[in-house]
Chains A and B, each alone.
Chain A
């Protein structure tokens, strides 16, 4: 219930956001298309190289998905069967950590555990086994993807299992169903409901993963489309190939997104209420197997984090903090993160108010189309991933201006769009329930415009807004996608500096920086995912 002038203003602001986002993406795509038009068919055609890269992208994504889910299933089931053990809540929080951990930090931690000089190979070596695991190439990529996606998949599957009505478990106990039948009758149907959605999500994340593949893969045998785009632009100076790959990636993500939109969506959400005792899980063998899976899952997730902490603390942090390059990078990172978060919040606010204003029961078809388009536009970054967006701007700007001078602006823009889907997911539901409570009352009292914003909306929404801001900043601070393309000696963020130090084999510095980035991002992310005040936010 908004006054007409308010509604017009909100819709105009939303239209502005729509045009802005549309321009950022369209310019990039236009840059790509224009460059591809200039290419001759034989010059940058669909050759064996591109075919190999595409195939590897799909195969690694498929394997990563299968392994992540194969691991997540028994872990989730074990967690569902044991709703009461000591430390369970901490374990679930631990499983949320990879979501907030920058890929570059996680990669270092994984190398610390599984790398050539890592913990596992040391243990194997001292056990007399001389077959070191190699983390570089496909195994490393799979390992890293499982590290990020197993906990995610486990949490989503667990949430669905916990949505099972309490009466089901009690009926099973009443009837004396053995655990095999409980699995077939109750657990499996619940798992099957979310499995396609979870698999689609994980596949999407793995098919567009950039940083992990850049750090752990590389080489012609283990390169994905996104990494190949980066290599084409930064090393081979072959924009034609980059363009072709970028268009290919858009086609791929479009296909996956289309498939995802058909699949049922997996979400964490309110559970069925009181978690009842699981009578089917009381057997001794079952307890042992569950304990094994939970323990293994916890060790797998926690070990790289511990590795980051240990090697980071071993680094000469005092010297690092004194280095001007580190301080400059930190300042750059913070400024970029702050601006990206602010831009993201502005876009989200405009979009949310406009969508709310256009949401009327007697709304015209035009209103509905506007709402839908605006909603989809805020998620456009999923269709055109950061590296592809960056590549588009790269080839568009090339020849017009100094590409590297434009770096800060482009990186801020891309980071803002990256955060936008998350910001929307935090803010829009909060605003919707707030509006439902206050719209009629405010209209009645004549509270409108800035007056209402200042006295009603801002005080009520300050928590979700700061959460979204923290989330957006963390995302930007840890990002290596956009900055990998545009970084240069005059524009160095912390992740970019970390990449440079790794490249020059200054492992201690890299470890120290990783700890710094990891701690800052996790702190922000914790702020950003604290349970929502309006309740019903499941187990975060």
Chain B
């Protein structure tokens, strides 16, 4: 039994240009959940995210976040923070400024703001990194800065677009633990695109499986990993015996 879902897509249709493959998303995500979004390359995971974030406009259908219709809202008006796989930081701005843009994109930072940025940096394990430039950070540290910016923005929904795909196993585990902790502390609704079943098993309570431009499954993690008769899912995991 679901309460008001944090996110719902009702018959959202989209295609890239007149010749693009048609996609259709119709699903709901419960508030406070942490969902792993999985699916083969080109299945539409990133498009799914782009539609939620407002980077792309649906050709039909409605998108609601926390009960509010955001279908035509500008990206910055939606209650969302977004972390990309790379290039989250403007390379010539220091860490303080990059995170500070999440507090107020228009004006300079006040002393108060700087305090908040430092706190957020401390929370992600980067105390003292305020003056550093992105080029002097490791890939994992850059993603931590992006998470710090998401923290100061205080938006209730967090979208992570393959955020740790470029990191090694150890670093990846640390980052997943951090995401899980932040998710719980701030009471977020989190969606994370990933290709690693281990990521989903480690932190996600739900899995959204996208196949050929539509939602093929949206269920608790355990249900999917305990064995299903969904051929596409089994094929994706490499579990199909007929090969």
Instruction: List residues of A whose CB falls within 8 A of some B CB.
Output: 165-168, 170-171, 173-178, 181, 185-186, 189, 276-277, 279
B86 lies within 8 A of A173 (CB)? no
Beta-carbon nearest neighbor of A189 in chain B: B92
Known: A167-B84, A167-B88, A174-B75. A277 touches B105 (CB 8 A): no
Beta-carbon nearest neighbor of A166 in chain B: B87
- Contact partner, B82, options A165, A174, A186, Cβ 8 Å: A174
- Contact partner, B90, options A168, A174, A176, Cβ 8 Å: A168
- Contact partner, B105, options A165, A170, A177, A189, Cβ 8 Å: A177
B87 lies within 8 A of A174 (CB)? no
Known: A165-B87, A168-B90, A185-B93. A173 touches B55 (CB 8 A): yes
- Please indicate the chain B residues that have their CB under 8 angstroms from the CB of A178 in the complex: 105-106
B55 lies within 8 A of A177 (CB)? no
Known: A174-B81, A174-B82, A177-B105. A168 touches B75 (CB 8 A): no
B-side interface mostly: loop
- Contact partner, A171, options B54, B80, B88, B106, Cβ 8 Å: B88
B86 lies within 8 A of A176 (CB)? no
B166 within 8 A of A: no
Q: Can you list 10 contacts pairing A with B, beta carbon distance less than 8 Å?
A: A168-B87, A170-B55, A173-B55, A174-B75, A175-B101, A175-B153, A177-B101, A185-B90, A185-B101, A277-B56
B74 lies within 8 A of A279 (CB)? yes
A279 lies within 8 A of B90 (CB)? no
A167 lies within 8 A of B86 (CB)? yes
- Contact partner, B75, options A165, A181, A279, Cβ 8 Å: A279
- Contact partner, B54, options A165, A173, A186, Cβ 8 Å: A173
Beta-carbon nearest neighbor of A182 in chain B: B105
Instruction: List residues of B whose CB falls within 8 A of some A CB.
Output: 53-56, 74-77, 80-82, 84, 86-88, 90, 92-93, 101-102, 105-106, 153
- CB of A120, distance to nearest CB on chain B (Å): 41
Beta-carbon nearest neighbor of B155 in chain A: A174
B55 lies within 8 A of A277 (CB)? yes
Task: Report how far A171 CA is from B53 CA in the complex, Å.
Answer: 11
Task: Report how far A340 CA is from B230 CA in the complex, Å.
Answer: 68
A176 lies within 8 A of B74 (CB)? yes
> Given A181-B106, A279-B76, list of 5 further CB < 8 A pairs?
A173-B54, A174-B75, A174-B76, A174-B82, A176-B76
Among the interface residues A167, A178, A279, which one has the most CB atoms of the partner chain B within 10 A?
Answer: A167
- Please indicate the chain B residues that have their CB under 8 angstroms from the CB of A185 in the complex: 90, 93, 101
- CB of B83, distance to nearest CB on chain A (Å): 10
8 nearest A-B residue pairs (beta carbon) = A176-B76, A167-B87, A165-B87, A173-B75, A167-B84, A177-B105, A175-B105, A174-B82
- Please indicate the chain B residues that have their CB under 8 angstroms from the CB of A279 in the complex: 74-76
- CB of B94, distance to nearest CB on chain A (Å): 12
Task: Report how far A171 CA is from B90 CA in the complex, Å.
Answer: 9
- CB of B47, distance to nearest CB on chain A (Å): 11
- Please indicate the chain A residues that have their CB under 8 angstroms from the CB of B101 in the complex: 175, 177, 185
- CB of A529, distance to nearest CB on chain B (Å): 26
- CB of A337, distance to nearest CB on chain B (Å): 42
Beta-carbon nearest neighbor of B89 in chain A: A171
- Please indicate the chain A residues that have their CB under 8 angstroms from the CB of B153 in the complex: 175
- Please indicate the chain B residues that have their CB under 8 angstroms from the CB of A173 in the complex: 54-55, 74-76
Task: Report how far A168 CA is from B74 CA in the complex, Å.
Answer: 16
- Please indicate the chain A residues that have their CB under 8 angstroms from the CB of B74 in the complex: 173, 176, 279
- Please indicate the chain A residues that have their CB under 8 angstroms from the CB of B75 in the complex: 170, 173-174, 176, 279
- CB of A472, distance to nearest CB on chain B (Å): 38
- Please indicate the chain A residues that have their CB under 8 angstroms from the CB of B106 in the complex: 177-178, 181
B88 lies within 8 A of A181 (CB)? no
- Please indicate the chain A residues that have their CB under 8 angstroms from the CB of B90 in the complex: 168, 171, 185-186
Task: Report how far A170 CA is from B106 CA in the complex, Å.
Answer: 16
- CB of A166, distance to nearest CB on chain B (Å): 8
- Please indicate the chain B residues that have their CB under 8 angstroms from the CB of A175 in the complex: 76, 101-102, 105, 153
Beta-carbon nearest neighbor of B54 in chain A: A173
- CB of B241, distance to nearest CB on chain A (Å): 38
B92 lies within 8 A of A170 (CB)? no
Among the interface residues A170, A174, A178, which one has the most CB atoms of the partner chain B within 10 A?
Answer: A174
